Amino acid sequence: MELLILILKTTGLFIATALAEIVGCFLPYLWLRKGGPMWLLIPAAMSLALFVWLLTLHPAASGRVYAAYGGVYVATALVWLRVVDGVKLSALDWTGAGVALLGMSIIVLGWHDKA
């Protein structure tokens, strides 16, 4: 049960981290490619700073955190693609996200008593 709670808390924190990173990159994209206002760079910088801070909250060595985070980032980016960009995801998109999340879970299992 303790391990399940660790995985759920880690996944939630990773989702928040991924959203901060995606927003931090999406806002400059809106400015550069879609003609958005330059002031979008201010919340983008704040979002990227939040992203970096959130990565420091995990109880594991940085390399493990970055490796596990990659799986959640893949899944979150695909959900962003669906929700924000309106692109329909294929069965292979969903399968890839599932594999990435499985990989993240395996890495997080290795954190137990190794932080």
Q: How far apart (Å, rounded) are the C-alpha atoms in residues 13 and 17?
A: 6
For residues 51 and 17, the answer to whether their CB atoms sit within 8 Å is yes
In-domain check, residue 80: yes
pLDDT above 70 covers a percentage of the chain that reads 97
Q: What is the pTM of this model?
A: 0.83
112: region left, alpha or beta (phi > 0 left; psi from -120 to 50 alpha)? beta
What is the number of domains present in the chain? Answer: 1
Domain of 27 in residue numbering reads as 2-109
Q: How far is the C-alpha of 33 from the C-alpha of 12, rounded, in Å?
A: 31
Least confident interval from 10-24, 53-67, 74-88: 53-67
Residue 115 lies in a domain: no
Q: 72 with 21: CB under 8 angstroms? A: no
Mean pLDDT score of the chain = 90
